[in-house]
Structure 1
Amino acid sequence: MTSAVSPVANAVVAHSTFNSLRLGRTSQFVVGRLIRFWDSRNIKKNGEFMGITILLLNELDSVIHGFIPANRASHYRPDLKSGSIVKVDRFEVARCAHTYKITEHQFVIRFTPSTRICEVLTDAPVINSEKFMMRRYDHLHVLSNTNLELPDVVGEIRSVQGSDLRNDAATTRVVVRLLIEPDVTVYLSLWDEAASTFRGLLKAGDKTKSVMLVTTVNPKLFGGNMYLNSTPGTRFFFDTNLPDIAEFVSRVGGESSKVFPLVDTLQGIKKKELVSIADLNTFISNSNEQTQEADFFCKARIVGVVHENGWSFVACTGCNRKLERIGTSLSCNRCVTDAVTGVVRFRVELAVDDGNDSATFVFFDKEMTKLTKQDAAVLALDEAANSGEKNIPICLEELTDKEFVFQIRVTPFNFTPNYRTFTVSTITEDIISLTHGKIEEDENILRSNEGDSGLKKAPPSGPYVLGENVGEECGTADPPEIAVTRNNRKRSSKWNAPFL
């Protein structure tokens, strides 16, 4: 079989420009510099490998992206070298999707089984080394929460926070406060490989390169703050000779060699505080706190049951994890056995309100059984006996308008791209029961400890519903067990592209 990867080309003749390409399979060929490439994964399918995305830059300073499907990736991967000038022919030209655009070109080059790619070593056109799709704050604000583009951004690092920052094998979230305008700071959220790569840069020990250009980020607005979420295509550049970095330093007055602080939150927060729902929302939104672990008390009134996601699930009796339905049978992704048995457990979302703000708290079996004095399995049998009608049990509806003090455990799990839920670990009718007499008065605690926890009072923000995604919710009653399985959760397209 003839290889689709040609020998090194010695010269280039009559190649097509990116703008002259036409839809469909073509006999034309293009020449460009391979400026970046990365593995594309389907976030909706637990990170399934979809193929390789490449970016090509030509002598007219135009950028187009190409896509190598998964079944051909291993064939082409050895010949992909960032910075090399390559010739590509026998490909298919297709339109770009309307979302998650990574270039300004309307077309994408798709590799087919007959596509050939080879490096050009002689008589190659003069092509710049890099090209970026830069966006400033006003444009980022328009793009936020639309998933239309994954732009590039330049800014000055003001601080870095995360857990185990010197361990480049860690992939948990890293938050970078980035000054992108003279009076505008955004939060760069780095996940997975991007988080690991950035930790590697920190481990190298050079904290003097403070002006950074970061590529292919997904802008989001949450809690009044802008977050730039990393994607598989995110890369970091610090070269002060890059025109975009030089322009930023000149325009904003950024200091390219300013030392920035690192805040390692490996130990987390151990102190418990009585807070409002607004405080909880601020805690998640505030990058100075969001990678830390903490327990909080929150006094609120139950408004009602959130019906959308039901009230129960079938858990594995061996590990308490939610069982997956495959055809007519149930299976456990954790227990390696065919003899899987399940039991119905509570998983209830309750809308709560503290008089100023609202949220949705998630309750698992232990606390909901204690609260309702009912067994989820028995209620499920009653439901089945009632012609299988999917009604919310009366004991849950009767919780409406009751007021409790909830202990909320916040962990890094709460800050994954698609899960922002508050899980209740303990419930009582007064704060004294929760603290074994160590807290005397609710209002005194708020006054005496205000400022100690790092929580800032937020203005009322109206209804705020959390916990919309339950597809892979852990089937356990206790937060420690939830923490064990949080790394196995699937991520939805709410925050990242389906695949990049």
Structure 2
Amino acid sequence: MKLVNGQSLIGTPVLDEVEIARARHLLVHVQSHDGPVMKLYLWDQAARDFCKKFKSYENTPTVLLVTTVNTKSLGGTLALTSMSSSRVFMDYDVQPTIDYFGWLGSNPQSAERVDAEVVTKRETLTIGEILSYIKQGSTKGQLGFFECTATMVHGSTWYYISCSGCNTKATKGPTSLMCSKCGKVNISGVAQYLLYTQYSVTL
């Protein structure tokens, strides 16, 4: 492991379980045996298992084994995503992690190999700052990858009733709701609420 939610292992990462539970995932940068640094996204139960195991170790664990993951490419970088059947193991949990931990001890240069373009920290930015970055990046030929976290605010005073088919604001008819876009009467209405969003950017 290289980074846990953007924190270096050297500084003993502090895992905020409340925040991780709210976000439902955490991000771990992992160095593969003979390959590149990859981004590993642990979701839901896998994220909770990671936190529990990580905190149970007296010394900061460095070896991670996760079973059953999906692979995909994000911006040319290989990324791994946990599944509901994924299981998490660390340093001395099972024989494969014990063997790899021993191999790292004999090959310390492998633990120091880092791809700076992949191992990056997240920064929380305003929409204005993201727009400014995009404008500057387009002139310099740079690429940025953005992640948006949204929170549905139930009970908000800002909402409207929409058509369940097309989400257009519904209008009141004599006896039912109508949709001007679909041209239908007696539609099923769905409440559309205010959405708060938070953006982070990987530079």
TM-score calculated relative to the size of structure 1:
0.25
Cα 1:275/1:204, change in 2 over 3 Å = same
Which of 172, 184, 192 aligns to 1:475? It is 192
Structure 2 equivalent of residue 438 of structure 1 = none
Structure 1 equivalent of residue 174 of structure 2 = none
2:70–2:80 contact (8 Å) kept in structure 1 = yes
Cα 1:383/1:165, change in 2 over 3 Å = same
Determine the C-alpha separation between the residues in 2 that align with 1:224 and 1:206.
36
Determine the C-alpha separation between the residues in 2 that align with 1:283 and 1:209.
29
Instruction: Count the aligned residue pairs.
Output: 158
Which stretch of structure 1 is more off in the superposition, 179-188 or 270-279? 270-279
TM-score calculated relative to the size of structure 2:
0.54
Matched AA of 1:233: S
- Is residue 235 from structure 1 mapped to residue 72 from structure 2 by the alignment? no
Matched AA of 1:253: N
- Structure index of larger Rg: 1
Report deviation, 1:216.
Answer: 1.3
Structure 2 equivalent of residue 195 of structure 1 = 47
Structure 1 equivalent of residue 145 of structure 2 = 283
Determine the C-alpha separation between the residues in 2 that align with 1:178 and 1:383.
49
Report deviation, 1:210.
Answer: 0.2
1:165–1:264 contact (8 Å) kept in structure 2 = no
- Is residue 211 from structure 1 mapped to residue 10 from structure 2 by the alignment? no
Determine the C-alpha separation between the residues in 1 that align with 2:162 and 2:107.
53
Structure 1 equivalent of residue 107 of structure 2 = 253
- Is residue 174 from structure 1 mapped to residue 26 from structure 2 by the alignment? yes
Other structure's SS at 1:201 match: helix
2:68–2:85 contact (8 Å) kept in structure 1 = yes
Structure 1 equivalent of residue 2 of structure 2 = 158
Q: Give identity over the alignment, percent.
A: 22
Report deviation, 1:199.
Answer: 2.1
Unpaired runs of at least 5, structure 2 = 7-13, 113-119, 151-156, 172-178, 185-189, 199-203
Determine the C-alpha separation between the residues in 2 that align with 1:382 and 1:159.
49
Determine the C-alpha separation between the residues in 1 that align with 2:74 and 2:38.
11
Determine the C-alpha separation between the residues in 1 that align with 2:80 and 2:51.
17
2:64–2:97 contact (8 Å) kept in structure 1 = no
Other structure's SS at 1:239 match: coil
Matched AA of 1:344: T
Structure 2 equivalent of residue 384 of structure 1 = 183
Report deviation, 1:248.
Answer: 7.0
Report deviation, 1:200.
Answer: 2.4
Report deviation, 1:188.
Answer: 0.6
Cα 1:382/1:232, change in 2 over 3 Å = closer
Residues 260-279 of structure 1 aligned to structure 2 (within 5 Å):
268-270=124-126, 272-273=128-129, 274-276=132-134
1:189–1:227 contact (8 Å) kept in structure 2 = yes
2:54–2:60 contact (8 Å) kept in structure 1 = no
Determine the C-alpha separation between the residues in 2 that align with 1:216 and 1:208.
24
Determine the C-alpha separation between the residues in 2 that align with 1:186 and 1:180.
7
1:194–1:234 contact (8 Å) kept in structure 2 = yes
Residues 350-499 of structure 1 aligned to structure 2 (within 5 Å):
381=180, 384=183, 475-476=192-193, 478-480=194-196
Other structure's SS at 2:64 match: strand
**Deviations 1:153-189 (CA, angstroms, capped at 9, x unpaired):** xxxx000117x82326843220000000345101110
**Deviations 1:424-473 (CA, angstroms, capped at 9, x unpaired):** xxxxxxxxxxxxxxxxxxxxxxxxxxxxxxxxxxxxxxxxxxxxxxxxx9
| Larger helix share, 1 or 2 | 2
What is the root-mean-square deviation in Å for CA atoms of aligned residues? 5.0
Cα 1:178/1:474, change in 2 over 3 Å = farther
Cα 1:324/1:200, change in 2 over 3 Å = farther
Matched AA of 2:180: L
Matched AA of 1:282: G
